[in-house]
Amino acid sequence: DEERLESLRGGHLLGMLALGLSISLDELAMGFTLGLLRLSLWAAIALIGAQAFLVAQLGLRLGARLGESVREGAERLAGIALLGLAIFFLAERLT
């Protein structure tokens, strides 16, 4: 555990910045969607908070069970899923 803590304190600044950017982009996309639905500000805040809490809890629970051995594959799968969504939305936009 000490080694993990030291590695997080060390040179992973770029990774943390990328994580922050990806979370911000996710929230921006969610804000656009909720804005298009014309929800009130308070309803949007409640939905964003609930979604963030539920997905974070799910990720923490799954991560604790799966451990380090599955981390690399999960990262690749998430990347492939995001690329697939981007291609789908681009194709939908172009047609």
User: What is the DSSP secondary structure assignment for residue 12, as one 8-state letter?
Assistant: -
Single-letter code of the amino acid located at 82: L
pLDDT of 38 > 90? The answer is no
* pLDDT tier for residue 13 given thresholds of 50, 70 and 90: low
User: How many Å separate Cα 30 from the centre of its chain?
Assistant: 11
Single-letter code of the amino acid located at 63: G
Q: What percent of the chain stands above pLDDT 90?
A: 7
Of residues 44 and 19, more confidently modeled: 44
User: What is the DSSP secondary structure assignment for residue 18, as one 8-state letter?
Assistant: H
Single-letter code of the amino acid located at 31: G
Report the pLDDT value the prediction gives residue 57, as an integer from 0 to 100: 93
* pLDDT tier for residue 53 given thresholds of 50, 70 and 90: very high
